[in-house]
Amino acid sequence: MRITCPLCGERDRREFYYRGAALAAPAEGDSPEVWHAHVHLRDNPAGPVEEWWYHQQGCGSWIRVRRDTASHEMLAAQLATSGEEG
Ligand SMILES: [Zn+2]
């Protein structure tokens, strides 16, 4: 699988660290059930998903990737903005 880093170009997936799904965090005051669902429960879609990847062996950037889980096609990649990846 190849990932296109916006700064370095197309690279092998092994240069990257996979963090997980790019999901918006619940609000600070949300219930434990909402936080539980956010931390532990995931859908497993066959199709486009948003994910965080870190270019660990490259430029050190966090990248938000839109990837098709059925074909592994990279649909989009953009640099994370400050604090967005947390
Ligand atoms: Zn890079």
Q: What is the mean pLDDT of each run of 10 residues along the chain (86 residues)?
A: 94 95 91 94 92 96 95 92 62
Domains of the chain and any CATH numbers: 1-23+46-81 (3.30.2270.10)
Cα 73 to middle of ligand 1, angstroms: 18
- Surrounding residues of ion ligand 1, Cβ less than 5 A: 5, 7-8, 55, 58-59
Cα 45 to middle of ligand 1, angstroms: 27
Q: Which residues 6+ apart lie within 8 Å of 17 measured at CB?
A: 53, 54, 56
Cα 62 to middle of ligand 1, angstroms: 8
pLDDT at position 72? 87
Cα 76 to middle of ligand 1, angstroms: 14
